[in-house]
Structure 1
Amino acid sequence: MGAGPRLWLRHETRATERRAPLVPEDAARLVREGVAITVEESPQRAFPLAEYVRAGCATAPAGSWVDAPEDHYVLGLKELPAEPYALRHRHIFFGHAYKGQAGAAELLRRFEAGGGVLLDLEYLTDDHGRRLAAFGYWAGYMGAVLAVLHRRGALETPLRPLERTEWDALLRAGGDTADDGSALVVGALGRSGRGACDALETAGISPVRWDVAETRDLDREALRGHDLLVNTVLVTTPVPPFLTGADLDAPDRRLSVVADVTCDVDSECNVLPVYDTVTDWEHPVRRLRDGDRPLDMIAVDNLPSLLPVEAGRAFSAELWPQLLRLGDGDGAWFRCLLTFARAAGASAVADRTKEDAHVR
């Protein structure tokens, strides 16, 4: 058994983030393959620290990754804390830093300042560009769950994590008497779309399913004619929007609930530019139009954390074989590195341009 990469699983600072990218069962598999793993304490992680210890992992206090040896890969899911500013490690997480999102340039500058690297999980793909580890199914499922429950007036807030059997029971409750109207899932053939469709079917709703063919030449009137919309389309280059302010104000709009699973709100690739901020567990619904034809938006950006055990296990099962290949020098992780290098270079050029303009 040879020595493998050294991983440091960090605590997530977002209070509502209960998932883990690597669960104890898969940590044990990696340890058996020679991977050294340190797991930080976390008061909210759905997987107890004791299970990681039994898997052969070392432990460390929450937030201590900042002092980890530089040969460790720091593994997480969501955003990093604001300090330290300079990031010197190789970080693996969803950085949301390559499409002009809010804070993206600043994050890349932090890596430049510390000499670190971002290996963004969103860009961990195979030779055909398909993501190798994704939460998509569970994001789509939960987006549809929240949309259905809200439309029925049965969504309890603040949101709290449950198991899938419990969410399914909530979907089935009242389904025989509810006036659910018609539902449309855009991106129905992808991971997220399949999850959304499964949730709707569980609720007793047969959704209309659109994918590439239907969005290539979008029938805006048909889209507005549904009662509930779940958007699961994530694009990497700007495309014409699916909904605009004019659509929301159109006299033929039946649409009353929109769940945006992708939450690409602050990117130029946002296909739903009718809202400007995500929602959260305390206030998952935002009203976009009032009056006799209200329209509500749901845009929670960590939906899979509402069923963290199932989502975490599914994601970890896809990720752990890839973690064995860290440091191989080619393949998926090398593509992640090239993507980071291109983005960091573009960020540096943009910064220098701004400085030059200021000097002039």
Structure 2
Amino acid sequence: MAPIRALFGNAVTMALEGNFMDASELRQVPDNQEVLLGQDSNVSVILEVLQQVEPGTSPDDMDRAVRYHFDSIANDNDATDVHVTWVDVAAGDAPAGKTPQPALLQGTQRVKKFGKPADNDLVHIWVAVWRLPSKKVDLALSLNEPSDADTDAIAQRFRASAGSLRIPAEHRSALTPTTAKKLIENGFEITVERDPQRIFDDAEFEAWPKAPKATPIIGLKELDTPGPDLENTHIQFAHCYKNQEGWVDVLGRFKRGGGKLYDLEFLEDAQGRRVAAFGWHAGFAGAALGLLGLAEQLNGGKLGAQTKFDNEDALLKETSKAVENIRKHRADGKATALVIGALGRCGRGAVSCFERSGMKPEEIVRWDLQETSAKSGPYQEILDVDIFVNCIYLRSKIPNFIDTAFINQAGANRRLGMVVDVSCDTTNPNNPLPVYSINTTFDKPTVDVELAKGVPKMEVISIDHLPTLLPREASEAFSDDLLPSLLQLPFVTGAAGEDALKHTHEEGKGAVWTRAEKLFRKHLADAVAHGA
């Protein structure tokens, strides 16, 4: 299998066979490009974020687009004898939140090589173009090969690489233009990599060159695996401290590269509270999808692909309709929900969504530690509501909230139709909801619970990046909470001077980062003990 390469700061990933090096190690590369050079061949691969040629995603539109970018390469190369061998254009738009299919082209150009006064060299060129209408950009991939290459084999590898390219359906940003501006005003230099999927346009940030090894890199979700060893300090949600799948490999990359991880999930103040979290918006978005999904289920359908909403009000218009639809299908005219973890950030967000969607206070059951510790699960109360939202922070093994045997035993005598697992401990062996085994996505938001024949349908929503349903509001809230901690980074990086390093255990002078590094070292040692 070809190795997966993370490009544009992990905004794009792609499998690429061969031995390539990053051209930025040799020369300056424009910040809208990723340039890879073959180390044992004359091959070059370029991925560019370019202004959209013209609107439209029909086959004719994409045919014109890929030819335009091919001609642009010819113009840049002062090429002669330009010929298109074939064009392959996929029909139809991609589902919301899914990477679109590229338009592909193979052609030849005669290009004058530097230092060669003789005839121009024949160069084979492959081009792939992905259109991102929401950002009004084209993502263009080009591969150049000399004339003596095995073009059939290269074409096959190029198609595989183009087919593997993924633009994750994640629109949030841990650092927003507002927070970046405040950091710059406080003497920080900020490096922002281009990201065609980010809710904030690149132009809303001040762009800087690629980060040197000593510069901390702040991101959001975990890096794709497999991947290169990690040399920088990374500030992100790594999802590797609770023995999740692949945790040893993730931490092993830091060990081998000499890098450091400050995991945002475990960045805590002196009282052990998280300094910043997306929890409120995760709960809000999860409850919203639960309402939309159950309404579709009661109408005999299934919730389709979802994409981001501009703001909460736009989302609430849809969830309010869903509440009314649920009421119409219930003999008592009620729409009911139970939220476990109701006192935490996630739980408060879920309750807020239900209330603002038109549910009455008495229709929303709020549970927290007091209720779950009063008796052991499974809980009949969960089966007695329309929607169950799990918002707990799982630290250890606890009794199951529900399981398939419990649901099958109830048969048709239950009301529950939709489970929303905001906590999303899918691969955690202690997951108290052992009724599903996969994370769902915005492309396919629900998965059916496998139940006995004749038992009414039940679905689970287990999306691990729920706040991206409201990416702008979620990002602004998170980044604002994170800002005071970011302002303390110079104390632990040495940028504030050697004397500051003596005070990094003090609150307000880097203690938040000192605690995070201590936790990283502990889990790194655990990973080493497990073979990292």
TM-score scaled by structure 2?
A: 0.60
Paired residue for 2:240? 97
Structure with bigger strand share is 2
Match of 2:403 among 244, 258, 263: 244
Question: Is the contact made by 1:248 and 1:289 (CA closer than 8 Å) also made in structure 2?
Answer: no
What is the deviation of 1:156?
5.2
Correspondences of 1:136-175 after superposition (within 5 Å): 136-153=279-296, 157-162=304-309, 163-173=311-321, 175=323
Q: Unpaired runs of 5+ in structure 2? A: 1-7, 13-166, 328-333, 492-503, 506-510
Greater RCO, CA 8 A, separation 6+: 1
Is 1:332 matched up with 2:512? yes
Matched, 1:230 2:393: no
1:3 — aligned with what? none
1:130-185 deviation digits (Å, cap 9, x = unpaired): 11000000000011000111111187521100021110111122534532542100
Aligned pairs (5 A) from 1:318-357: 318-328=481-491, 329-330=504-505, 331-351=511-531
Would you say 1:41 and 2:200 are equivalent positions?
Answer: no
| 1:245-264 to 2 correspondences below 5 Å | 245-251=404-410, 252-264=413-425
Is 1:129 aligned to residue 272 of structure 2?
A: yes
C-alpha distance after superposition, 1:203-259 (max 9, x if no partner)? 222310000101112461222222210001111222222122222212244321100
What amino acid maps onto 1:263 in structure 2? C
**RMSD in angstroms over aligned alpha carbons?**
1.9
Matches within 5 A, 1:38-117: 38-53=191-206, 58-60=207-209, 68-82=211-225, 84-117=227-260
Using the TM superposition, give the Cα deviation of residue 17 of structure 1 relative to its aligned residue in structure 2, in angstroms: 0.6
Shift of 1:83: 6.0
2:342 to 159, 183, 188: 188
Equivalence for 1:210: 367
- Bigger radius of gyration: 2
1:17 to 170, 183, 195: 170
Q: Which residue in 2 is equivalent to 1:355?
A: none
Tell whether the 8 Å contact from 2:376 to 2:399 is kept in structure 1 after alignment. no
- Scaled by the length of structure 1, the TM-score of the pair is 0.88
* Matched residue type, 2:369: V
Equivalence for 2:185: 32
Task: Tell me the alpha carbon deviations over residues 267-301 of structure 1, each in whole angstroms, 9 at most, x when there is no partner.
Answer: 13422122111000111100004544111000011
Partner of 1:199: 353
Alignment partner, residue 26 of structure 2: none
Deviation per residue, 1:299-325 (Å, 9 max, x gap): 011000111000000001001111111
The aligned residue for residue 95 of structure 2 is none
Gaps of 5+ in 1: 1-8, 353-360
Task: Evaluate the alpha carbon distance shift between residue 156 and residue 182 of structure 1 in structure 2; reply closer, same or farther with a 3 A threshold.
Answer: closer
8 Å Cα contact 1:105/1:347 also seen in 2: yes
SS in 2 for 1:286: strand
**Aligned counterparts of 2:305 and 2:240: Cα–Cα separation in 1:** 29
Q: For 2:466 and 2:409, how far apart are their aligned partners in 1?
A: 30
CA 129–210 in structure 1, closer or farther in 2 if over 3 Å, else same: same
